[in-house]
Amino acid sequence: MIQEERLWQRLMELGEIGRQPTGGITRLSFTKEERAAKEKVAAYMKEAGLFVYEDAAGNLIGRKEGTDKDAPVVLVGSHLDSVYNGGMFDGPLGVLAAVEVVQTMNENGVETKHPIEVVAFTDEEGARFRFGMIGSRAMAGALSTDELNYQDANGVSVAEAMQEAGLNPHHIGKAARKPGSVKAYVELHIEQGRVLEEANLPVGIVTGIAGLVWVKFTVEGKAEHAGATPMPLRRDPLVAAAQIIEVIEQEAKETGTTVGTVGQLHVFPGGINIIPERVEFVLDLRDLDAAVRDNVLQSINEQAQKIGKERNVKVTTELLQEMPPVLCSELVQNAAKEACQKLGLDVFSLPSGASHDGVQLVGLCPIGMIFVRSQDGVSHSPDEWSTKEDCAAGVNVLYHTVLRLATG
C-alpha cells in the first residue's frame, strides 16, 4: 500500500534544500530555503490529491475531505525548518510520511469520516528567533502579536520576516483553530535519542514530551588589557560563565533525569588580547517533570549569583521560552498500539526528551507521536540518519493510526 520508495525519494530530494558546505542542512523559518522546501512539499501534496493552502502563520496545509465535512479534522504533520547545520530527517520525515499516508488513501479510494489535514508547521525549531513553534502556537491561538517584535541576529523581527515571506503578521490570529475543530494531532518523528536502538526496535509510541526552558544569561565584567592586567585584579565574565556552565552540568546530572545544555555562547568584544567585557549564553534545560526542572533552575540561578559576587561580575538572566511537559493522549497512543499490532510490530512506549509541536496543541486536541529509530541516537547534526526500512515501518504505523482516528 504505502509507496516506501516514493517517500524515500522525496526525503532525499528535500534533504538537498538548504544543504551547507559543512554537510548539514540550514533551513531557517521565513528564509528562501524554507520557502523552497515548502514549494516542493506543496507540489507533493498536490500530487497526493490534496487541497493545498497556507494559513495566516505560514503553516503549509494539504486537506483531504471527509465524508462528514463538518467532522473535526485529524491533523498529521511536523515541520520543515531546521536547526543550524542539522540533519535531513528531523521534521521532513513527519511531513512526507503524512503526505504518503493520505496519498495512499486517495490512490486506493479510501474514504474517511473525518477530514485529514497534513501540516508543515512554521518555525518549530526556534533556531532563528528567541523562541520556536511559531506555527503551532499560532494554530493553538497562543501567540501574541507583541512576540512578533523579537528580532533575529541581524535585527530582523518575526513580523518583518513574515512580511518578507508574503504574510501579514497582523492577521496571525486567523491561524487559530476553534476548540473542538480538531479531533487529534499525530506526528511521526525520529527519536533523536538511543532508546529504540538499544531496544533494537524500528518504531516506538511516545508517552509524553519533556518540558523545556530557554534562559539567557548575561555576565558583565570589565574589558581590560590581556597583557597588562594582573590576574587578581580582573573582573573576567568568561571565567565566571565557565563556572556557571560547570554548575549547570553538575545540577542536571544530580537528578538523573534533567538535561542541561549551553549550545550558544557569545563573547564581547571577542578580541584575543582583551579580557572580555560581556558574555551571553543561553541555557536549554529539560525534564519530564516541571517541578524537578524548575528546582534545578533555581539552584543554578542561586549559584550563578554567588559566582557573580565572588568574581565581582554582574549576572542577569532573561526567560526566552518555557514549554511545560505534556502527556500524549490515550486515544492516539491506543490507535498507534493497534497499528503496531496489526503490522506485527512490538508495542514499545517511550518518552520524548526532544520537544515537538504537539506541546503547543495539547490544549486544542488530543496529541500523540510515533518515533522512528535514530542511528547512534544522533540528531541536530549532519550525521542524523534513519534507515529506509525503519522509515517505512514508521509510515505504515502512521497510516493505520490515522485511518483509525479518521474513521472511528
The window from 112-120, 124-132, 173-181, 260-268 that contacts ligand HGY (CB under 6 A) reads 124-132
Q: For the window 333-362, what string marks contact with ligand HGY as x by the rule CB under 6 A?
A: ---------------------xx-------
Binding-site partner at residue 191 among ligand HGY, Mn ion, none, CB < 5 to 8 Å by type: none
Question: b/e map of 226-248 (b: 16 or more CB within 10 Å)?
Answer: eeebeeeebbbbbbbbebbbebb
Residue 250 CB, nearest approach to Mn ion (Å):
26
Helical segments of 175-236, H only? 195-199
Among 54, 55, 100, 124, binds ligand HGY (CB under 6 A): 124
Residue 90 assigned ligand-binding role? yes
Beta carbon nearer to ligand HGY, 121 or 217: 121
Nearest residue (beta carbon) to Mn ion: 356
String marking each residue 33-52 x if it binds Mn ion according to CB under 5 A: --------------------
Distance CA 401, CA 365 (A): 16
> What is the grid cell recorded at 302?
542561586
| Angle (CA) 8 13 14, round 5° | 100
Q: CB-based contacts of 313: which residues, under 8 Å, 6+ apart?
A: 219, 220, 221, 235, 236, 237, 240
Q: Is 380 annotated as a binding residue?
A: yes
Q: How far is the CB of 124 from ligand HGY (least distance, A)?
A: 6
Residue 91 lies near Mn ion (rule: CB under 5 A) = yes
Q: Which stretch binds Mn ion (CB under 5 A): 27-35, 56-64, 82-90, 234-242?
A: 82-90
Q: Closest distance between Mn ion and the C-beta of residue 245, in Å?
A: 22
Instruction: Tell the smallest beta-carbon distance from residue 279 to ligand HGY (Å).
Output: 23
Closest CA to 179 of 387, 407, 21, 362: 362
Cα 150 versus chain centre, distance:
19
Locate 43 and state its grid cell.
507540489
Q: From the list 125, 187, 251, 277, which residue makes contact with ligand HGY (rule: CB under 6 A)?
A: 125
For residue 156 the three cell numbers come to 530582523
The yes or no reply on residue 132 touching ligand HGY (CB under 6 A) is yes
Of 119 and 297, the one with the shorter C-beta distance to Mn ion is 119
Smallest distance from the beta carbon of 83 to Mn ion, in angstroms?
6
| Joined grid coordinates for residue 291 | 517541578
Which option in Mn ion, ligand HGY, none does residue 132 bind, with CB closer than 5 to 8 A by kind? ligand HGY
CB of residue 79 to ligand HGY, shortest distance in Å = 8
Written as nine digits, the cell of 124 is: 518549530
Contact 110, 60 (CB under 8 A): no
Total interface residues for ligand HGY by CB under 6 A: 5
Task: Kindly report the backbone phi and psi dihedral angles of residue 233, in degrees, each rounded to the nearest multiple of 5, phi listed first.
Answer: -95, 0
356 binds Mn ion (CB under 5 A): yes
Out of ligand HGY, Mn ion, none, what residue 280 binds, judged by CB under 5 to 8 A for its kind, is none
| CA dist list (Å): 294 to 117, 135, 260, 299, 316 | 36, 26, 12, 9, 17
Does residue 77 belong to the site contacting ligand HGY (CB under 6 A)?
no
Residue with nearest beta carbon to ligand HGY? 354
Q: Is 78 in the site for ligand HGY (CB under 6 A)?
A: no
Would you state the cell numbers that stand for residue 247, as one nine-digit string?
A: 554548575
Site for Mn ion in 123-142 (CB under 5 A): 124
Task: Give the other-Cβ count within 10 Å of 347's Cβ.
Answer: 15
Those residues with Cβ within 8 angstroms of residue 14's Cβ, 6 or more apart along the chain or in another chain: 37, 40, 41, 80, 88, 92, 96
Binding residues for ligand HGY, per CB under 6 A? 124-125, 132, 354-355
Binding residues: 79, 90, 125, 189, 380
